[in-house]
């Protein structure tokens, strides 16, 4: 369980605090303030981090080096007046190249991220991988 306490501090800003250790992050309204991360950016960061952590855990257990890997996540919204996330595009960059079997296993591990599987059917999540500078 990950209990978070979110407090509105005024001027379209919130402070989210993790209950177990009081670690904090400030969240702004991206439309008006935009100095801190917005809620959509937090979703992107959570998804990308989860996918990298899932892939890295597998890699460590199987002696594969994925250090330096990174993810770009583009979250797009649709709808008026109710806005919702419509599409999330994820691009995973792994600086080292691997054989096809290891590539497939690393893709599977990244795609097994529980955050990725938390979006409903209304949200399209697409994932592309690049190993050693080459898209796959």
Strand order in the sheet with 13-18: 4-10, 13-18, 24-28
Task: Note whether 106 and 59 are within 8 A (CB).
Answer: yes
Peptide bond into 81 cis (omega under 30): yes
Predicted local confidence at residue 1, as pLDDT = 63
Q: Is the pLDDT of residue 134 over 90?
A: no
Q: Is the pLDDT of residue 33 over 80?
A: no
- Sign of dihedral through CA atoms 33, 35, 39, 40? positive
For 39-85, the pLDDT digits (tens) are 999 999 999 999 999 999 999 999 999 999 999 999 999 987 778 89
> At a CB cut-off of 8 Å and minimum separation 6, what does 25 contact?
15, 16, 36, 37, 42
**Could you state, in order of their start, the residue ranges of all structural domains in the chain?**
1-37, 39-135
Question: Residue 24 CB: number of other CB atoms within 10 A?
Answer: 11
Tokens standing for residue 82: 């109710």
Residues 22-32, mean pLDDT to the nearest whole number: 88
Residues 10-36, mean pLDDT to the nearest whole number: 89
Gyration radius of the chain over CA positions:
17
- Which fold does the domain 39-135 belong to in CATH? GMP Synthetase; Chain A, domain 3 (3.30.300)
Predicted local confidence at residue 80, as pLDDT = 76
What values do phi and psi take at 111, rounded to 5?
Answer: -75, -10
Percent of the chain with pLDDT over 70: 97
């Amino acid at each position: 369980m990950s209990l978070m306490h979110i407090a509105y501090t005024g001027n379209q800003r919130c402070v989210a605090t993790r209950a177990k250790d009081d670690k904090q992050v400030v969240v702004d309204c991206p439309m008006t303030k935009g100095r801190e991360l917005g809620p959509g950016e937090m979703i992107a960061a959570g998804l990308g981090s989860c996918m990298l952590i899932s892939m890295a855990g597998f890699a460590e257990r199987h002696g594969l080096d994925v250090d330096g890997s990174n993810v770009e996540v583009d979250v797009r919204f649709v709808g008026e007046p109710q806005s919702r996330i419509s599409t999330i595009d994820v691009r995973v960059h792994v600086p080292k190249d691997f054989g096809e079997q290891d590539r497939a296993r690393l893709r599977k591990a990244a795609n097994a991220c529980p955050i990725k599987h938390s979006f409903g059917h209304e949200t399209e999540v697409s994932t592309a991988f690049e190993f050693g500078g080459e898209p796959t």
